[in-house]
Chain A
Amino acid sequence: MPDSQAIAIDPSAVENPAVGIDQSSGNFSYDMKYEFDAGSGLNERTVDYISSVKKEASWLREFRMNALKTFESKPLPTHWATRDLENIDFNKIRYYLSSGGKPKRTWDEVPDDIKRTFERLGIPEQERKFLAGVEAQFDSEAAYSNIKETVAKQGVIFVNSTEALREHPEIFRKWFGKVIPTSDNKFSALNSAVFSGGSFIYVPPGIKVSHPLQAYFRINAENFGQFERTLIIVDEGSEVTYMEGCTAPKFSTATLHSAVVELVALKGAKIQYITVQNWANNVFNLVTKRGLAHEEAEIKWIDCNIGSRLTMKYPGVVLKGRKSRGEVLSIALANDGQHQDTGAKMIHAADETTSNIIAKSISVGQGRSTYRGVVHIPRHLKGCKNNTECDALLINSNSRTDTYPAITVRGDRHAVQHEASVSKVSEEQIFYMKQRGLTEGQAMSLSVNGFINDLARQFPMEYSVELKRLIDLEMEGSVG
């Protein structure tokens, strides 16, 4: 079992080919000339610089400055989280990099090297095939942003946060920071101080957006920190599916990705938020995601974490309105040198609210996965339901899995169910599959896909195919 010391990876371990695996499809970068560069390190000048470049209103500049103070005053949460967090050197990180200019509406207008990046990642192709809109962020700002005309005509807004603040300040400000306050945790404070990019979506009442909206987050620069801020507001009776993907090249130094995502589902609205994360193994991925569900609204997080060095992410739903529903379907794959610390939070705050958490984690080699969950049902409510299932799969004897489900239910008018299991892919099972002609990588990949099969079946087709492909790549590469 790796102790916390062993998890503090030195840079050479990040170079270990067994660790690196196949983010190969995303493992490339281009030399960029950045017009705007906040330099390394974080202080008031950094925040000032970002705010000035974005020509922000004074309330926002103040908001950022206050957030910086909160960030500085909060300790790292190492009393419960891994000490690997201490390896983040906040003074070495570059907090803002952009080439200037507004995001382009057609791929032809996107500068060549950035366009090449997204073409290699297949984004324009996916857009043509099945998406209602795409936003492609390159380091700090969106390079491309477009929404299908039919969807725009319905009054749906899909822009990045920088544009939203300029063009829709009244809606943005109304909800911004309300679901996740600055002081929620150290990294939400950091994001609040230096955020840039991320999506802003508003769906007016009674509109069902027929195809998914997608954002793609790309880190290109070394020692970079990406801090996108996403805010999605779905008005009464409306529906939207949002999907995010992300990649970064594999640098030997640490990269930080620390996003804040806030969702608001008004009465009877439905939001489905899908993440397929495939960060390179040097990325600290520390993300705060939470949704607020009003009466009879439904928020569903589908969260797939494959890459990164350390991910800490617990998508949550605050069930504020009567009969609202929250769901988290989570898949985490921790390979050698990786720690996936993921889970879910369900805060029941109204009668007859329902939450469902299904978390599956896979630990391979020295990989470590941790499930953390919070379910909170207070005494004064009635008719609340929660179902929590955590399944862990271990491949090879050195992998580690921990489960910390914190379920607090008060009162006697609720129904709660919790199940957990740990299983292992045995040598005998691998031999059986190899005897049928599968390579070791194929055999492990098949076991993993079998393990998550019942969850992956609930994903939209395109994403379950993508997920399978990523798992195949990851397992192929994990065989020495």
Chain B
Amino acid sequence: MSLLEIKDLHVAIGEKPIVRGVSLEIRSGEVHAIMGPNGAGKSTLAKVIAGHPDYTVTGGDVLLDGHSVLEMEPDERARAGFFLAFQYPSEIPGVSIANFLRAALQARLADGEELDASAYYKRLYEKMDLLKIDRKFTSRSVNEGFSGGEKKRCEILQMAMIEPKFALMDETDSGLDIDALKIVAEGVNRLRGPGLGMLLITHYQRLLNYIVPDFVHVMREGRIVLSGGKSLALELDSKGYDWVKDEVPVS
């Protein structure tokens, strides 16, 4: 059982404040969705937890099981249990998915310990079957020439292999048509379980039809202005974000 605590977090890019005091607790097994209009600071929140170098934390804290992660390098945070599913995953030319994942898993072993190659491939193929991904996929270079749907599926495959404590899913639905969205959502649902906490960042309610969250939070102008159960997402969908504006005035 793990706990992710975001405490009164303030984040800026350069001088410009983006996140202005967010507090949130996520436990293993819980799925939290953060919704909000463009520019609300949703993606920033996900990236800053992962340690993206473009952002500066100007106040507050992020704790994993009681320990602050803010002084940790992005790779240390990753190995501690955070996984960021990127909105725009990078291409790594010449590096196959199989080799990339192998390097990622090897990086989690102690010095001198070698990944068991045959066990690795067995597990990789199991996860690919689970996510209905073609075996040929593994020899392609990471994200190179991938369609939007393939990129997102590749993110989910990585998540399945790495088995993080907390997954931060940044606009996983963006750029997907409805069929691709269903496939990706199904993959995510298969990974749901008591060991995994999830933070879903999304602009649209659509994704939440397929990945049903336990909690929904609405962000506006760098703050969480409203929290509720899954029904909140539906209400937002019918009434729009302006409804929140009227409901909860932001100072």
Contacts and interface: CB of A to CB of B under 8 A. Distances in A.
Do A and B bind? yes
Interface of A: 423, 426-429, 431-440, 442-443, 446-447, 449-454
A449 B104 contact: no
Given A442-B107, A446-B95, A436 B78 contact: yes
Contacts of A454: 94
Contacts of B104: 436-438
B150 to A, nearest CB: 16
A311 B94 CA distance: 26
Interface residues of B, number: 29
Contact of B78 (A423, A428, A435, A446): A435
Interface of B is mostly: mixed
A156 B94 CA distance: 40
A438 B93 contact: no
Contacts of A434: 51, 73-75, 78
7 contacts: A423-B93, A434-B51, A434-B73, A436-B158, A437-B79, A440-B73, A451-B93
A431 B79 CA distance: 14
Contacts of B93: 423, 450-451
Given A435-B78, A436-B78, A427 B53 contact: yes
A431 B74 contact: yes
Nearest to A438: B107
B84 to A, nearest CB: 5
B162 A433 contact: no
A429 B94 CA distance: 13
A428 B92 CA distance: 11
A13 B223 CA distance: 49
Contact of B95 (A427, A437, A450): A450
Contacts of A451: 93-94
B50 interface: yes
B37 interface: no
B125 interface: no
B152 to A, nearest CB: 14
B75, B82, B99: which has the most chain A beta carbons within 10 Å? B75
A437 B107 contact: yes
Given A439-B73, A446-B100, 4 more contacts: A433-B90, A434-B51, A453-B94, A454-B94
Contacts of B51: 434-435
B24 to A, nearest CB: 20
A451 B93 CA distance: 6
A446 B86 CA distance: 19
Contact of B103 (A431, A442, A452): A442
Contact of B162 (A432, A437, A440, A446): A437
Contact of A428 (B73, B90, B141, B158): B90
B89 interface: yes
A432 B86 CA distance: 8
Interface of A is mostly: helix
B52 interface: yes
Contacts of A446: 92, 95, 99-100, 103
Interface of B: 50-53, 73-75, 78-79, 82-84, 86, 89-95, 99-100, 103-104, 107-108, 141, 158, 162
A436 B77 CA distance: 9
Contacts of B141: 450
A449 B103 CA distance: 12
B236 to A, nearest CB: 29
Contact of B75 (A429, A435, A447): A435
A450 B96 CA distance: 8
Top-6 shortest CB links A-B: A450-B94, A450-B95, A453-B94, A432-B90, A436-B104, A434-B75
A171 to B, nearest CB: 43
Contact of B108 (A435, A437, A447): A437
Nearest to B143: A432
Contacts of B75: 434-435, 437-440, 443
Nearest to A445: B103
Contacts of A443: 75
Nearest to A426: B90
Nearest to A423: B93
A451 B95 CA distance: 8
A398 to B, nearest CB: 17
A212 to B, nearest CB: 26
Given A432-B86, A434-B73, A447 B95 contact: yes
B92 A435 contact: no
Nearest to A448: B94
Contacts of B83: 435
A122 B209 CA distance: 61
Contacts of A433: 90, 92, 100
Contacts of A442: 103, 107
Contacts of A449: 94-95
A438 B103 contact: yes
A464 to B, nearest CB: 13
Contacts of B78: 434-437
Nearest to A454: B94
Contact of A447 (B73, B79, B84, B92): B92
